[in-house]
Amino acid sequence: MVKYSWLLFILLIACKSAQQNNAMQVLPFDQQGHRGCRGLMPENTIPAMLKAIELGVTTLETDAIITKDKQVILSHEPFFNHEITTKPNGEYVVEAEEKGLNMFQMNYAQIATYDVGMKMHNRFPQQQKIPAIKPTLANMIDAAENYCKTNKRAPIRYNIETKIQVETDHIYHPSPEEFVELLVGVIQSKKITERVTIQSFDIRSLQYLHKKYPSIKTAVLIEDFDKKSFTNQIEALGFTPTIYSPHYSLVNHELIEACH
């Protein structure tokens, strides 16, 4: 009986080992803080990023735009969004004027006189109201790196979107090539290249990035109205990105199988 028990034990171990070898590798879960932590703090500000790290995210997701004086700053729009902005004179920006407040036509010193943390946000009632400005990417990285070191946190990762589209070239932003060069310049100067992913809906910026800086991770973003097949989307991009990031409504069994 003992002999058979040992045989059963060996068979069970062998089966378990085979299952482990055949199992798909499970990667660590990447918890990203969208625009820092938009629901709790003013979006794309240093306080939002530090709060996200405090809450345990592993990646800070943010958006980058370019100013008139070639600074890379955090902002979801290239203009001052009326939902979040207070002008230097204390008046709120209204929707009718927001697109005229074009940060690509403003130096950073002027941009920093606008507050984006004090106006109540109707869609995020739990968002804490504090004075805040749109920071440069360099200053945000410094703040995040220092916070992690001071609080003995693991080095944070960054997922940065290039806010760029064909229709607004040279109106709200420079060319894709110049945009990428300015962005990569900041990333390299801060020595965080291996912890950065650059994402975009604009394939031109990703194509240039991949050609010039192939070691930097890329994520292609897919809009919900993009009905092209996965194969056609990757063919249009011209290379296999690190991450394929479609709108959730597009995700089904067929798409998952195609990705695998």
Neighbours of 58 (CB within 10 A): 17
Angle between helices 230-237 and 203-212 (to 10 degrees): 50
- pTM (whole model) above 0.95: no
Tell me the domains of the chain and their CATH numbers: 33-197+205-211 (3.20.20.190)
> What gap in Å lies between CA 36 and CA 46, rounded to an integer?
8
Structure confidence by residue, pLDDT tens digits, 105-158: 999 999 999 999 999 999 999 999 999 999 999 999 999 999 999 999 999 999
Closest CA to 45 of 83, 74, 88: 74
Q: How far is CA 114 from the centre of its chain?
A: 23
Looking at residue 24, its pLDDT comes to: 62
pLDDT beneath 50, residues of the chain = 1-15, 17-18
Q: Is the dihedral of CA 90, 91, 97, 98 positive or negative?
A: positive
pLDDT of residue 25: 72
Distance from C-alpha of 143 to C-alpha of 69, rounded to nearest angstrom = 22
pLDDT of 20: 52
